[in-house]
Structure 1
């Protein structure tokens, strides 16, 4: 499941002030810039005079805006057409001529619908919580709208809320919350959009679609869903109803560098393969397995997987697809998840149990070299997570040739996928396992991460390219 966390995750007590917003900080250098980026710009000084070999990076996600100004020139165009494919930028496994799946259930909901009675109580608990939070946020919004109407401004500032005389406990609570928020960031409109509007949208989707056992959109796809060996289904329409997440991920990897707009992607000679398999809800194992196979069969050398879930209905199908890709020398890069869980001991799918090879799991780190370097939302695990990478307030592309800041391991994952692609561009003879080895061996270690991941550090492009140059299989 895609989970952006740049909005509130509960009632007003859970609303938090966003971290500092600095474009391209993930590319900066700790020593030079005092920001814990991965030294991308410094790394390019090692590549002067070297020739790059273009690398295909598959982004398995919710879709990508193929017209985005900072991405359209770096998109992969399918030369191996299949039935229904008119030479587009990839494939969708969650659509058909009937349309596209936008919302889908959580895997928990699907398993209960399929007869797993042991999960009924957990589904009921999560649904009740989602409904309560949704209603609570709607109540907060209603009071906030009343307060702003009384203030008489569409975009009131800190002084306006301080001067306002609340009537009753509801207005007192809302006014106090806004004073706290705007004391740190005096931008009411951004707060309203990012934390209230998106929070309401998120919990509405949970209550009405993701946790609703009566909702099942699979008929849109038209496949035999229970046949995990079925590969030929889907649609060439791989933008999807909402390609925000996939567009943001793709920009981090490959947005055109030094063109004066947007951001600079990590890798400079990448073609982004757009594979749509992740709805607003939990991805289905059959679709993920087929997306991985599609990427491997069409020449991807790196696969970005900024998704995950707590339950799996067909882990075997996904595992077999992973093994298939690994045999084809593909490097898999996966987001660790955004629940602040130790995934050494809690389920997070897909996972590497019974699958070994060139597979990197990524946690999210913050801007500063301090005890809070681990992002507070990031999952972790001494064995299940390999490395950390920038994933807090990452500025990247969104649909309509626009840009936005998002938080999440979904943002950290493409930082590492971009780094892997950069290494493979300039050292094309390196195997996927060697690239993984290089990335893990060259992290910048910190005591604050020692117990949170295998390497205890944040990836670093400069150090990785220095080590890549010493490998015997270099070009």
Structure 2
């Protein structure tokens, strides 16, 4: 029956992250396990895990560290994982809340997207769309022409006072709007009022300037703008759109007439309304209220979900778990990093959309309360609402207070993270750093960053192998894939290996060790994608310009340093 289920699952499952690409070519085991290798022995920039095991050869593990995967589901019965799945010691599979934590039968973790009747959310909205719907009535109708605030009522301008909460308004304008397709479509719908207003202004100006002229050209409409007049950003956008429309009809002596009728009548507005309503229908709900039933804006409303961990979104985390934990040296499989690590799975992600910050914050607290050592989150986000960001800060601080390391992958989006802020990050509290948070980017065999990786000294801590990584896949299968989540799994696995032999080290100590002991790539010039004025480009960088440590994680050097600290602490 299990195989029948997985055949169905594999037919319907899709890769969650666009950067995960299946590789079908047959490779030698050494090539499949390249992330275990070292440059000294194998001439590839792996994480020196094989060399680390040589160092550990005569040492005895002292603990079985728990690693919490906070993201998608997991195939916890996979042949490579089933012996390394965490089991709640205070829970029984009897339909009761034996440990009285509010979660019934949370044997191996918890699904924060589930319902008591067994349903699971398969789609989530993106955070930008959620925030747009929350703030739409407050700021959605605001226009600003560079000087005044106003809105349209029955097609006429009505002056408005500046927003009372200017920080929130700027957040809506500069963070929510670029992140929300819904917001973009809604803005286009409202902009029909601007276009209707300016098409009348331009028409009058052209007729006043050209008495008796019956047809107008692009040059005529451009001539309406006095270059010495105060800048009006809305006018300029309207001019561009109308000039473009006329240019498309160049040679037609009724080009302006058609443009005028389109924008002055209801055709443009009707088309924009249809587009907005279509996108709203597709993306404006994810059935959380109907399935989960909680208030996602209330952090104290925490008893919800179910214990279903194998979801349609289980591919990524199954691979991540298989990189971190399991038995090494089995031909045909990958060699995991930390043989004794245990995997706890906390589901907050679906097949599409972005996790709710409430779910993530509660998942972090659940993990810490159940004595995890390392937490691995999903990729960062640029949209972090104020109140919900505070939930995440407090949850990560709670992990910090209990000695738990939190690892988070950045995105492969080619952003300089000093120019566009991604969360969570070390400085998000606005005061003291979050000393237990580690942000990871992806590198390849040659020691080069992923071509599309985010970068920046102030936001990225180190790089780790994450390109063409071989690992378990759902249904007792295996595959090679690429992505920053796999690089973060490499780091989490090394952290678990350190914790196995040096359990007294805290999360912030392990973070410091990992940063201090990288395979240095300082002085090496690399080529990668970047964004310049919003456009994708390529440029050359020194590796130390890409991350704080200037290198790639090195398990062997980290363990050597960990032993030094452990010996020093004994004295």
Q: TM-score range by the shorter chain?
A: 0.7 to 0.9
CA deviations over 1:435-455 (Å, ceiling 9, x no partner):
111111100111342100001
Residues paired across the two proteins, number: 387
2:487 to 367, 388, 412: 412
The answer (yes or no) to whether the contact 2:110–2:345 under 8 Å persists in 1 is yes
For residue 545 of structure 2, give the secondary structure of its aligned residue in structure 1.
coil
In the other structure, the counterpart of 1:60 is 70
1:106 aligns with 2:106: no
Query: 1:89: Cα distance to partner?
Result: 0.9
1:123 to 180, 186, 207: 180
Measure the CA separation in 2 of the matches of 1:470 and 1:244: 38
Distance 1:25 1:216, change over 3 A: same
For residue 464 of structure 1, give the secondary structure of its aligned residue in structure 2.
helix
TM-score scaled by length of structure 1: 0.76
Distance 1:345 1:242, change over 3 A: same
Q: Report which stretch shifted further, 253-262 or 32-41.
A: 253-262
1:319 aligns with 2:389: no
In the other structure, the counterpart of 1:138 is none
In the other structure, the counterpart of 1:245 is 316
In the other structure, the counterpart of 1:331 is 405
Measure the CA separation in 2 of the matches of 1:236 and 1:401: 21
Distance 1:84 1:300, change over 3 A: closer
In the other structure, the counterpart of 2:474 is 399
The answer (yes or no) to whether the contact 2:381–2:424 under 8 Å persists in 1 is yes
Distance 1:121 1:273, change over 3 A: closer
In the other structure, the counterpart of 2:196 is none
The answer (yes or no) to whether the contact 1:109–1:210 under 8 Å persists in 2 is no
> What does 1:27-176 correspond to in 2, within 5 Å?
27-52=36-61, 53-81=63-91, 82=97, 83-86=102-105, 88-98=107-117, 99-116=119-136, 117=140, 118=173, 119-120=176-177, 123-124=180-181
Measure the CA separation in 2 of the matches of 1:299 and 1:210: 42
In the other structure, the counterpart of 1:421 is 496
Distance 1:311 1:40, change over 3 A: same
Distance 1:247 1:127, change over 3 A: farther
For residue 74 of structure 2, give the secondary structure of its aligned residue in structure 1.
coil
Measure the CA separation in 2 of the matches of 1:381 and 1:210: 36
Measure the CA separation in 1 of the matches of 2:401 and 2:354: 27
> What does 1:217-256 correspond to in 2, within 5 Å?
217-219=287-289, 220-256=291-327
The answer (yes or no) to whether the contact 1:394–1:405 under 8 Å persists in 2 is yes
- Stretches of structure 1 that go unaligned for 5 or more consecutive residues are 9-15, 129-206
CA deviations over 1:331-359 (Å, ceiling 9, x no partner):
11110112111112212122222152111
For residue 478 of structure 2, give the secondary structure of its aligned residue in structure 1.
strand
Measure the CA separation in 1 of the matches of 2:552 and 2:178: 39
The answer (yes or no) to whether the contact 2:21–2:482 under 8 Å persists in 1 is no
The answer (yes or no) to whether the contact 1:105–1:210 under 8 Å persists in 2 is no
Distance 1:2 1:294, change over 3 A: farther
> What does 1:440-455 correspond to in 2, within 5 Å?
440-446=515-521, 447-448=523-524, 449-455=543-549
The answer (yes or no) to whether the contact 1:126–1:211 under 8 Å persists in 2 is no
In the other structure, the counterpart of 1:303 is 375
For residue 115 of structure 1, give the secondary structure of its aligned residue in structure 2.
helix
Query: 1:474: Cα distance to partner?
Result: 6.3
For residue 69 of structure 2, give the secondary structure of its aligned residue in structure 1.
strand
For residue 281 of structure 1, give the secondary structure of its aligned residue in structure 2.
coil
Query: 1:237: Cα distance to partner?
Result: 1.0
Query: 1:120: Cα distance to partner?
Result: 4.8
Measure the CA separation in 1 of the matches of 2:499 and 2:450: 28
In the other structure, the counterpart of 1:202 is none
Distance 1:126 1:403, change over 3 A: farther
Query: 1:305: Cα distance to partner?
Result: 1.3
Measure the CA separation in 2 of the matches of 1:23 and 1:208: 45
Query: 1:217: Cα distance to partner?
Result: 2.2
The answer (yes or no) to whether the contact 2:326–2:340 under 8 Å persists in 1 is no
CA deviations over 1:381-411 (Å, ceiling 9, x no partner):
1011111000111111110011111211111
Measure the CA separation in 1 of the matches of 2:312 and 2:134: 27
2:285 to 215, 227, 236: 215
Measure the CA separation in 1 of the matches of 2:278 and 2:120: 18
Distance 1:209 1:438, change over 3 A: farther
Distance 1:275 1:349, change over 3 A: same
In the other structure, the counterpart of 1:364 is 442
* Superposed CA RMSD: 2.8
The answer (yes or no) to whether the contact 1:365–1:392 under 8 Å persists in 2 is yes
In the other structure, the counterpart of 1:469 is 563
- Stretches of structure 2 that go unaligned for 5 or more consecutive residues are 1-14, 92-96, 141-172, 186-276, 525-542
CA deviations over 1:40-80 (Å, ceiling 9, x no partner):
01111111222211100111110110110100110001123
In the other structure, the counterpart of 1:276 is 347
The answer (yes or no) to whether the contact 1:389–1:415 under 8 Å persists in 2 is yes
Distance 1:211 1:464, change over 3 A: farther
TM-score scaled by length of structure 2: 0.64
Query: 1:26: Cα distance to partner?
Result: 0.6
Greater gyration radius: 2
Measure the CA separation in 1 of the matches of 2:182 and 2:303: 37
The answer (yes or no) to whether the contact 1:445–1:456 under 8 Å persists in 2 is yes
Query: 1:260: Cα distance to partner?
Result: 2.8
Distance 1:337 1:36, change over 3 A: same
